[in-house]
Amino acid sequence: MSPRPRSISRKLPPNLVKDVRGGTTYYRYRNPLTGERTSFGQDVERSIQAAIALNAHFAKTISDQRTEKLVRRVITQNDGGTIGEFLHIFDTQILQARRSKKGKSLAEKTLREYRIMLRTIGQEFGKDDWEQITLKRVALFLDQLPARSSNAHRSLMIQIWRHAIAKGIIPPQNIPEMTIPKDHVVERQPLSLVWFQSIREAAEPWFQNAMDLALQTLQRREDLVLYRFDAIQAINGAQHLPVCQKKTENTSEFGRLLLPVGDELRRVIDQCRDEILSPFLIHRKPHKRRREYLDKKDHWTAVQPEMLTREFTRLRDQTGVCNGLRQEQRPSFHEIRALGAELYRQAGWTDDAIQRLLGHSTEKMTKHYLDKHQEPWIVTDTVGLSLMVYQK
C-alpha cells in the first residue's frame, strides 16, 4: 500500500483566522484598524493572498497615520495625546472658563451633568488616540444609549471635537456632528388633578406644603426648596414672594419673578408655619442627623430637591394611582408644574400671564406645558346641509 499522504499545515498570515463550522473550514480577515471581521470563504490560497495584500495596505496606512501625527505635533506644538487627556482639559479648563451672557459661570448642577457624560465618553474612548475614532464607532456608541441620553452625549461630543479642532489637535472634521440625532418621544403621562389629590392625601404635612406651593406658584423643585419666610417683602402695601429661577438665572431675565401673595398663596404660606423653627417654607425634621448630610445644607431643616422627587415617586407608587402605566410613563413631581398651568388656564388666565409665571422666555415652551393637558381638536365651519341638496 502506498503511504498515506500527509496533510500540509499552512501558517496563516497575521489577521487571517480559521472558522470551523459543521466540519467546514472558513477563513475570516480581521481589520487591524477597526477589529471588524470579513468572510473570505473556503479557498485557503486566495484567502492567504488577500490577507497578505491587506496587511501590506494597512501597514502603510498605520505608518502614514503615525507619521502624520508626528508631523502635526511639530507644526502645532500642541499634541492632544489621548482623548482622555483632552477630556480632562475640557473639564478643568474649558467648562470652568465658560460664561453666560451675564458673565456667570455654569451652575453646579449643569457641571455635574456634564461630568457624568464626560465619564461615560471617557470610558468608551478615553484610552484612544483621535485617529482611532471612526464615524462607525461614534454611531455605535450613541446607538446603545436611550434617545434623550444619546442626543445629550452627541451634543457634548460635538463641543469636544469642536474645541479640539480649534486648538489644532485634530483635522477640521467633526465626526460626532456627522451622526444623526435620535427622535425622542416623551412617554411620561401628564398628572391629573385626581392623581394629585390622592397623592397629597397620603403625604405628610411637610410634603403637602411642597405640593401646594408647586401647584400655586408653578416653580421648579430647585426653586421651591429655597422659599424663605424672611424673603417675603412688602411692595406698595402688598406682600410678594421673590423667585430667582436657578435654571435660567444665567441665561435669561425672565426667571426673576415677584409673585404677589393672594389669599390662596397666603393660606399655603401660613400652613407652612409649624412647631419646627425653620427659615424655609418647605422644611422637615430629618430622621437622622448625620453630620455629612447636615454640612451640605444651609439649615438642618432644609429639604434637598431630590427629596421632593423621591417622596412623590414613593407616594405615587404606594397609592397605586398609576399602576396601569409603565414606570417610564408615570408622572413625576415636575408634572405638578404643567397641571398647575392648566388649572390657571381653566381659571381664566391668558397664555401670556401663565408664561410669565412659569418664567418661560418663549411662547413655544409654555404651549408645550399647556398642551400636555389638552388633546388637539380641529374646529370646522358650522355643519349642516340644506335638505334641498339630497332629498330631490
| Tens digit of each residue's pLDDT (9 = 90 or more) over 352-375 | 888 888 887 676 666 666 666 665
- Average pLDDT value for residue range 286-307: 76
The answer as to whether 299 is a domain residue is yes
Stronger pLDDT, 115 or 293, i.e. the higher one: 115
The CATH number of residue 112's host domain is 1.10.150.130
The pLDDT, as a whole number, for residue 160 is 95
Q: Are residues 135 and 69 in the same domain?
A: no
Q: Are the C-beta atoms of residues 189 and 159 closer than 8 Å to each other? A: no
Task: Point out the least confidently predicted range of 44-58, 224-238, 350-364.
Answer: 350-364
> Is the per-residue pLDDT at 331 higher than 50?
yes
Q: Are residues 119 and 64 in the same domain?
A: no
> Is the per-residue pLDDT at 290 higher than 90?
no
- Average pLDDT value for residue range 73-97: 78
The pLDDT, as a whole number, for residue 200 is 95
> Is the per-residue pLDDT at 9 higher than 50?
no
The pLDDT, as a whole number, for residue 64 is 63
- Average pLDDT value for residue range 369-386: 56
Q: Are residues 227 and 366 in the same domain?
A: yes
Q: Are the C-beta atoms of residues 179 and 154 closer than 8 Å to each other? A: yes
Q: Are residues 109 and 217 in the same domain?
A: no
The answer as to whether 10 is a domain residue is no
Mean pLDDT (the chain, rounded)? 83
The answer as to whether 186 is a domain residue is no
- Average pLDDT value for residue range 114-126: 94
Stronger pLDDT, 353 or 1, i.e. the higher one: 353
Q: Are residues 224 and 118 in the same domain?
A: no
The pLDDT, as a whole number, for residue 377 is 52
The pLDDT, as a whole number, for residue 37 is 86
The pLDDT, as a whole number, for residue 328 is 85
The CATH number of residue 307's host domain is 1.10.443.10
How large a percentage of the chain has pLDDT more than 90?
42
The pLDDT, as a whole number, for residue 271 is 94
Q: Are residues 25 and 96 in the same domain?
A: no
The pLDDT, as a whole number, for residue 199 is 96
The answer as to whether 92 is a domain residue is yes
The answer as to whether 35 is a domain residue is yes
The pLDDT, as a whole number, for residue 110 is 84
> Is the per-residue pLDDT at 32 higher than 90?
no
Which residue matches cell numbers 435660567? Answer: 248
> Is the per-residue pLDDT at 106 higher than 90?
no
Q: Are residues 160 and 206 in the same domain?
A: no
Model confidence band, residue 237 (pLDDT cutoffs 50, 70, 90): confident
- The range of the structural domain enclosing residue 321 comes to 193-371
Model confidence band, residue 148 (pLDDT cutoffs 50, 70, 90): confident
- Average pLDDT value for residue range 62-74: 60
The pLDDT, as a whole number, for residue 76 is 45
The pLDDT, as a whole number, for residue 108 is 81
> Is the per-residue pLDDT at 205 higher than 80?
yes
The pLDDT, as a whole number, for residue 294 is 61
Q: Are residues 266 and 365 in the same domain?
A: yes
The pLDDT, as a whole number, for residue 165 is 92
Q: Are residues 117 and 31 in the same domain?
A: no
Total structural domains within the chain: 3
The pLDDT, as a whole number, for residue 339 is 92
- Average pLDDT value for residue range 209-217: 94
The CATH number of residue 23's host domain is 3.30.160
Model confidence band, residue 6 (pLDDT cutoffs 50, 70, 90): very low
The answer as to whether 297 is a domain residue is yes
The answer as to whether 380 is a domain residue is no
Model confidence band, residue 1 (pLDDT cutoffs 50, 70, 90): very low
Model confidence band, residue 8 (pLDDT cutoffs 50, 70, 90): very low
The answer as to whether 271 is a domain residue is yes
